[in-house]
Amino acid sequence: LSGQLAQAQKVQALGQLASGIAHDFNNVLQAVSGAALLIERRPGDEEKTRRLARTAINAATRGASITQRLLSFARRGELRTEAIATAELLDGVREVLAHTLGTLITVRTEAADGVPPVLADRGQLETALVNLGTNARDAMPNGGTLTFRAEAVRIAAGEASSADLAPSDYVRIDVSDTGSGMDAATLAKVTEPFFTTKPPGQGTGLGLPMVKEFADRCGGKLAIASAPGAGTTVSLWLRQAGAEAVPGRDDENGDARAGV
Ligand code: ADP
C-alpha cells in the first residue's frame, strides 16, 4: 500500500511539474508572438522594433532555461563523478553569473590557495551552483553581493553523527548573498519539491530539492543558514577527490546514497 501511495504521489508531482512547465512555456510563447505581432503591425519604427526584438530574445532565453531545467530534472538519474578543480570551477561559474545576473549584483569567489578538488558530476555541479546564484539574485532585487567560498573540511569518525555526514575529507562550498534572507517557517520548507514563494511562472520550486538530491547522491549534503534581513548562505558539502571511500558507496554507478 505504501508503494502505491508513493507511486500516486509521484504521478501527482509529475502532473504538477508538467502543468507548471506548460504554464511557463505559454508565457514565453505569448511574449515572443506578442512582440512579433507588434513588429508586424508597426513597420518602419526602428527603435520600437529593436525593443520588441529584445523582448522576444529575452523570452526565448527564458524558454531555453525552462527546457534546461526540465532536462536536468529528467537526467538527474545519471551521475558521472570525476575530480573537479574547485577554484577553477568557481571562477567559471562566476564568469557565467557575472554576465547573466545583471549589473546590480557583484559576484565574488574566495577559494583558499590549494583547496582540493571535489568528486562530483561536473555538469550537475555547475547547474547546481548557477541555480544557487539565480536564487541569490532573486533575493537581491535591489542588488548586492554574491560570494562563492570554498574550504576543505575533515569530518573525523567521532564527529560523523553531529555533521550528518560519513567521516571523510570534504570541500564545503558556501554560496552567500546579502539578500532578503528567510524566516524559519520558509527555511523549513525550501527543500520540499514545488515549494516556492515566487510568482507563478517565475518559480518551479525544484531548484533547491534538486541541489539537495545532487549533494546527497555525491556523498555530500546541503545545509542552509538564513535569517530575515541577514542574507542566506547555502553550503554544498562535497567529498574531496581522492578521499577515502565512504563505506557502502559505489562510485562506478554512483547510485548509492550517503549513509543517512
Ligand atoms: P524556486 O527558486 O523556483 O522558487 P527553489 O527550490 O530554488 O525554487 O527555492 C525555493 C524557495 O526558497 C524560493 O522560492 C525562495 O522563497 C527560497 N529561497 C531559495 N534561495 C533563497 C535565497 N538565496 N534567499 C532567500 N530565499 C531563498
62/58 Cα distance (integer angstroms):
6
pLDDT per residue as tens digits for the range 179-221: 999 999 999 999 988 889 998 767 878 889 889 988 988 999 9
Q: Is 201 in the pocket of ligand 1 (CB under 6 A)?
A: no
The overall average pLDDT reported for the chain is 84
In the chain, what percentage of residues exceed pLDDT 90? 50
- Over 50: is that where the pLDDT of 256 sits? no
The kind and range of the H/E element at 149 are strand 144-155
206/157 Cα distance (integer angstroms):
33
Spell out the residues 6+ positions from residue 211 whose beta carbon is closer than 8 angstroms to its own. 128, 131, 132, 222, 234, 236
Instruction: Using the atom order of ligand 1, give the atom closest to the CA of residue 210.
Output: 6
CA angle in degrees (0–180, nearest 5) for 74-18-203: 90
Mean pLDDT calculated for residue range 49-65: 88
Beta bridge partners of 149: 110, 174
For the stretch 83-98, what's the b/e string if a residue is b when 16 or more beta carbons lie within 10 angstroms of its beta carbon? ebebbebbeebbeebb
CA of 66 to the centre of ligand 1 (A): 16
CA 237, 241, 243, 246 dihedral sign is: positive
CA of 246 to the centre of ligand 1 (A): 31
pLDDT per residue as tens digits for the range 145-154: 999 999 999 9
